[in-house]
Amino acid sequence: MVLRRPGPIESAPLHLADLPDPVPGPGELLMEVAACGVCRTDLQLVEGDLEARHLPIIPGHQIVGRVAAAGLGTTGWAVGDRAGVGWPAGSCGACGFCRSGRENLCGQAQFTGWDRDGGYAERAVVRADWAVRLPERFPDPAAAPLLCGGVIGYRSLRVCGIRPGERLGLYGFGASALLAIQVAVHWGCEVYVATRSPAEQRRAREMGAVWAGPYEEPPPVPLDAAVTFAPVGEVVVAALRALDRGGVVAVNAIHLDRIPEFPYRHLWWERQIRSVANSTRRDAVEFIDLAARIPVRTVADAFPLEEANTALARLKRSEVPGAAVLTIG
Ligand SMILES: [Zn+2]
Ligand SMILES: [Zn+2]
């Protein structure tokens, strides 16, 4: 499913195309894609909110599949191995960020389905050293949402600094928050969920939240930390206002229009707002290992590959209760 020109998802900007098989270069793997998660970032790219870096492009950055061929000099992978690839597709490996374990900040970083063709396809080429192993416990469609929503949700928990037993706010309750709450509950945190949708509030309580309410209603107690998942600036301010002294809001959004002006006293007492940018390979390995141990439950709402426009349109209208996943082959 190829994006040639971004446009409103209602105009079905992705087109089914029959392309030649991609060829893996040195250090790369050709993957036979089995499933690919559908993420809000894909929607932002397809609609043009996130500026395309490369057109035409095949979106999709939660790829689960099997190695079909390996390029020259590729180590650690054999044909038939199951592998997963998320949003980060590679980085330079030489800059200060890469050498200090902060490869997510590398200026040369490349991204799956943005710089390189992604997983809305039957086959995809990925860098072997950026592919991760997936525990058998998760079938292909269930593993896909772990790779972006899960990993970035886990990184957000780390960035907001939440510790076991503390009070955590989750603002927005989509696919990524559904995984983050399971980690937080596993860590013994008290979780407070803010979301517009009464159905999502109910679901949050079922999943262990001690409180769930709308964005504009403050939680009953001050929070030690919060993560915002909704790509809306007002929600960042709502989360900031809910924090106790010294608390951190981690903003899990690659695209946010603006944060509205707010009085300095909301930030006073060493409160912080931090953005969460991408993820590292270590985040992916740690989260996937933790996900298998907890074990987290993922609910995949499957769509065939050629219905990618429909899947994205339903994601836009908040009509996907779990995580949308394209199943392929
Ligand atoms: Zn994503
Ligand atoms: Zn670098």
At 200-215, the pLDDT tens digits run 999 999 999 999 999 9
Ligand lying nearest the CA atom of residue 102? 2
Q: Which of 12, 40, 22 is nearest to 122 (CA)?
A: 22
What mean pLDDT do residues 248-254 have? 94
Ligand 2 centroid to Cα of residue 102, in Å, is 8
Ligand 2 centroid to Cα of residue 95, in Å, is 4
Ligand 1 centroid to Cα of residue 112, in Å, is 9
What mean pLDDT do residues 226-254 have? 96
d(CA 175, CA 52): 23
- Ligand 2 ion local residues (Cβ < 5 A): 91-92, 95, 98, 106
Ligand 2 centroid to Cα of residue 109, in Å, is 7
What pLDDT score does 61 carry?
Answer: 98
Q: Look at residue 137 and tell me whether its pLDDT is greater than 80.
A: yes
Ligand lying nearest the CA atom of residue 109? 2
CA trace torsion 222, 228, 230, 231 (10° rounding): 130
pLDDT in tens, 40-50: 999 999 999 99
Q: How many residues does the chain have?
A: 329
Ligand 2 centroid to Cα of residue 101, in Å, is 10
Q: Which of 151, 90, 152 is nearest to 125 (CA)?
A: 90
Ligand lying nearest the CA atom of residue 63? 1
Ligand 1 centroid to Cα of residue 269, in Å, is 33
Ligand 1 centroid to Cα of residue 59, in Å, is 10
162 contacts 185 by C-beta, under 8 angstroms: no
What mean pLDDT do residues 87-100 have? 97
What pLDDT score does 98 carry?
Answer: 98
Please confirm whether the linkage preceding 222 is cis (ω < 30° from 0). Answer: no
Give the model's confidence band at 253: pLDDT under 50 very low, under 70 low, under 90 confident, else very high: confident
Ligand 1 centroid to Cα of residue 175, in Å, is 10
Ligand 2 centroid to Cα of residue 185, in Å, is 34
Ligand lying nearest the CA atom of residue 92? 2
Give the model's confidence band at 318: pLDDT under 50 very low, under 70 low, under 90 confident, else very high: confident
Ligand 1 centroid to Cα of residue 87, in Å, is 6
Please confirm whether the linkage preceding 219 is cis (ω < 30° from 0). Answer: no
Tokens of 22: 């991609």
Ligand 2 centroid to Cα of residue 89, in Å, is 12
Ligand 1 centroid to Cα of residue 146, in Å, is 10
Q: Look at residue 329 and tell me whether its pLDDT is greater than 80.
A: no
d(CA 198, CA 156): 24
Ligand 1 centroid to Cα of residue 225, in Å, is 22
Ligand 2 centroid to Cα of residue 211, in Å, is 41
Q: Look at residue 53 and tell me whether its pLDDT is greater than 90.
A: yes
Q: Look at residue 131 and tell me whether its pLDDT is greater than 80.
A: yes
Start-to-end C-alpha separation, the chain = 14
Ligand 2 centroid to Cα of residue 97, in Å, is 6
Query: Buried b / exposed e across 131-150, counting CB within 10 Å, b at 16+?
Result: bbebeeebebbbbbbbbbbb
pLDDT in tens, 151-180: 999 999 999 999 999 999 999 998 899 999
Ligand 2 centroid to Cα of residue 53, in Å, is 18
What pLDDT score does 257 carry?
Answer: 82
CA trace torsion 119, 125, 127, 128 (10° rounding): 100
